[in-house]
Structure 1
Amino acid sequence: MEGTELNWRLLAKRQWPLALSLAGITIAELGSITTSPGWWQVPGVLVICAIAVLAPRRPFDAALALAFAVVCAALHLRFLGVGFEPHFFVSGATISITGAAMATIAILVRESTYGRAGAGTLLVIAAMVTAEVLGWPVVSATEYQQWRPDWTSYLFGATIMLVLAIGTGLYFRARDNERSSQLAASVAAAQNAERMALARELHDVVAHYVTAIVVHAQAGQLNREFDVLPSIAASGNEALTAMRRLVGTLRDGESGSPAASSSLLDDVRSLVDESGLPVRLSVELADAVPQELARSVLRLVQESLTNIRKHASAVSAVDVSLSSQDGVLRLEITDDGVASGVPVGGSGGYGLVGMRERAELLGGTFRAGRREPTGWTVRAELPIA
């Protein structure tokens, strides 16, 4: 809308069809204008056409300028127009000027508020009517009878052209609004996806390390002889390091997930060692795993192990299986623990949601549920390609 001026490159890309059309019409009219002593009117016509071409930059100001220029051209025609062809005097405005006025009205309706568009349109109409009125008395009565138009047809044609100009402006206005709505929806969706990704990362990082702190603190309450302070301090330092890494990654404009190393197996083993759970790890990867997929796999493993520590008790075995076949990576994590009556760190409830979102964003599937007789199972299948 008006107020945001187009840059020159975009203006040229958008207005070149109008510029060529007006140039062609003006060239076609030059033969009738330059053969008479009124050749000086050519610059005036060119100025009016240029105003129409540049109108998108400042539509309402362009309407004012065009109205002023049309009236000035009509005054010149009225008082200095000796030698012109009679049909120019009777019409009061050339075809190129009429086309420029229509284009300006269409641009005004498209770009400006309805109030300014209405006011600008009335100004242009008033200027065109003034040009017609000033042209009538220039010719003699005989010439007027020879060249006079059918005023009923003339008014009907003028109305059709006005409706066409306004309708064109309204059409492009509606199209621009639709595109703006689609762009706003796309931006909102991208922002929402970014917030969800950030929420998943914060949940994964904070939940993993804070859970370790809480578990150690609870263990210290049960066993007073067990010195938990070093473990709590270590987990706290790891949490701070992970948060700094996450913030640094976001500042660099990269993905919210920390980059996986060249070896997915080493990264998974590192998570297993940090978990403190009795984990049996099985890895059979026949295909190379892309970095983005490796990051998501690490997050799924991390969140699953964190959930076991938070929600299960009496865990004697945890099985982590990672394999690939036919372009599909399969991850399965099971435990034999018993559901804890009071989950460590509260209910939360966002872990499984985030894990499912991760899998679906990569075009995969995710399932999680209880296993018999006790325990929990997490399965994910992710396409490698």
Structure 2
Amino acid sequence: MESKDLNWRLLAKRQWPLALSLTGIAIAETGSIDTALGWWQIPGVLVICAISVLAPRRPFDAALALTFAIVCVALYMRFLGVAISPHFFFSGANVSITGAAMATIAVLVRESSRWRAVVGTALVLAAMVVAEVLGWPIVAAVEYREWQPDGTSYLFGASIMLVLAIGTGLYFRARDNERSSQLAASVAAAQNAERMALARELHDVVAHYVTAIVVHAQAGQISRETAEQVLPTIEASGYEALTAMRRLVGTLRDGESSGPAASSSLVDDVRSLAAESGLPVRLSFDLQDSVPQELARSVLRLVQESLTNTQKHASAVSSVDVSLSSSDGVLRLGVEDDGVASGVPVGGSGGYGLVGMRERVELLGGKFSAGRREPTGWTVRAELPLA
């Protein structure tokens, strides 16, 4: 699994402790370099640490790159005839390289499929072994007479570090799976509640048109002249019933609460929502077309969720601009505020608001966008077809 949704800002927020730790260790290790050629290890160590920090974006590719980088560093240090300083094991890796390898293995186990985790871990371990094999002759030629390495102790230490890296990855993988299960259960519960609400709306809206069809059909049975008069009305009512049915069925997958009921005036309903929110709302209307009641209900939900998000996520709000306009068969909604993002949402947040709004708009055949404003604030925009 590649974390394509992990943008650079989220990556920096998640990985800064690792980046800071590896940087501090690498700086501390430079004090042990006593030859001019020994400084050639620094570029390789920095590349290895950088790969480890960026690993959450593409874990398996990071494991491949880390393997290649470790082997390359070991090869050119062997070519220079200089050992990595200070060597953490026998000869071929220092603390920063070892820490980067452990962090990459943990991310790989956490986010990749099982076979990729196994293959990637095996490659990183193989690279560490190759580094030890390539570096050992250099260290042995200088230090062997004074230093007798204890292979059992080093093997035990390496095993402990491997277990720690894999265990950390498995722990966070289990937490991610648990979080995903809870999220799926919450979404399913919200969708079920919305289906029940939409069933009531189906009765209130579509049944109105069906009732009109029945009444006019009964009236048309009185005489031929009456039948000719009511046939166009029956046709129009049937068309409206089918249109309402399609819209309601299309919104069955939405996850938010049923929201406010729509009256005959969308403008009055939006004004009521603005007044109830307690926010400094400025309204702008330019509706050149009539808005069907079913579509008006969805618009009200979008406005309500936008104002609720402003209340929960923003502070120091001095104005909220809500605009509704229509032209060329398209209804356009815009909600913009100038608030400053608050650290903790009022009452908590399930994180489904924007997802629900986007799904609702797209299921109705429209376009949706939301994002930050400069220098402060948040904007929500939606375009919905009237037909």
TM-score (norm 2): 0.58
Q: Shift of residue 69 of structure 1?
A: 1.2
Q: Shift of residue 125 of structure 1?
A: 0.5
Mapping 1:39-78, distance limit 5 Å: 39-78=39-78
Q: Shift of residue 208 of structure 1?
A: 2.7
**C-alpha separation in 1, matches of 2:239 and 2:83:** 89
**Secondary structure of 2:146 counterpart:** helix
**C-alpha separation in 2, matches of 1:184 and 1:107:** 23
Mapping 1:117-156, distance limit 5 Å: 117-140=117-140, 143-156=143-156
Correspondence for 2:105 = 105
CA contact (8 A) 2:213 2:238 kept: no
Correspondence for 1:182 = 182
CA contact (8 A) 1:38 1:81 kept: no
Q: Shift of residue 228 of structure 1?
A: 7.0
Alpha-carbon spacing, 1:136–1:110, altered in 2? closer, same or farther (3 Å): same
Please give the root-mean-square deviation of Cα atoms over the aligned residues, in Å: 4.0
Instruction: Indicate the larger mover: 54-63 or 194-203.
Output: 194-203
Correspondence for 1:201 = 201
**Secondary structure of 1:146 counterpart:** coil
**C-alpha separation in 2, matches of 1:206 and 1:88:** 74
Instruction: Indicate the larger mover: 249-258 or 19-28.
Output: 249-258
Correspondence for 2:367 = none
Opposite residue 118 of structure 1, the aligned amino acid is V
Instruction: Indicate the larger mover: 166-175 or 253-262.
Output: 253-262
CA contact (8 A) 1:37 1:82 kept: yes
CA contact (8 A) 1:210 1:236 kept: no
Mapping 1:1-385, distance limit 5 Å: 1-2=1-2, 4=4, 6-33=6-33, 36-82=36-82, 87=87, 90-140=90-140, 143-215=143-215, 217=217, 234=233, 237=236, 240=239, 257-259=261-263
**Secondary structure of 1:201 counterpart:** helix
CA contact (8 A) 2:209 2:240 kept: no
CA contact (8 A) 1:246 1:256 kept: no
**C-alpha separation in 2, matches of 1:138 and 1:14:** 39
Alpha-carbon spacing, 1:171–1:260, altered in 2? closer, same or farther (3 Å): farther
**C-alpha separation in 2, matches of 1:129 and 1:234:** 83
TM-score (norm 1): 0.58
**C-alpha separation in 2, matches of 1:83 and 1:216:** 95
Q: Shift of residue 290 of structure 1?
A: 6.6
Alpha-carbon spacing, 1:13–1:290, altered in 2? closer, same or farther (3 Å): closer
Alpha-carbon spacing, 1:237–1:36, altered in 2? closer, same or farther (3 Å): same
**Secondary structure of 2:39 counterpart:** coil
Q: Shift of residue 55 of structure 1?
A: 1.1
**Secondary structure of 1:10 counterpart:** helix
Opposite residue 101 of structure 1, the aligned amino acid is A
**C-alpha separation in 2, matches of 1:256 and 1:198:** 12
Structure 1 runs not aligned, ≥5 long: 265-288, 300-385
CA contact (8 A) 2:32 2:86 kept: no
**C-alpha separation in 1, matches of 2:31 and 2:234:** 89
CA contact (8 A) 1:55 1:107 kept: yes
Opposite residue 104 of structure 2, the aligned amino acid is T
Note the alpha carbon deviations across 1:98-121, whole angstroms, 9 max, x for none.
000001111111111100110010
**C-alpha separation in 2, matches of 1:87 and 1:207:** 79
Q: Shift of residue 94 of structure 1?
A: 0.6
CA contact (8 A) 1:32 1:85 kept: yes
**C-alpha separation in 2, matches of 1:202 and 1:87:** 72
Q: Shift of residue 259 of structure 1?
A: 3.1
CA contact (8 A) 2:89 2:154 kept: no
Note the alpha carbon deviations across 1:72-93, whole angstroms, 9 max, x for none.
2122232313487685793310
Note the alpha carbon deviations across 1:134-157, whole angstroms, 9 max, x for none.
222113467225344422121111
Q: How many pairs were matched up?
A: 268
**C-alpha separation in 1, matches of 2:244 and 2:89:** 78
CA contact (8 A) 2:103 2:165 kept: yes
Q: Shift of residue 31 of structure 1?
A: 0.7
**Secondary structure of 2:6 counterpart:** coil
Opposite residue 106 of structure 1, the aligned amino acid is A
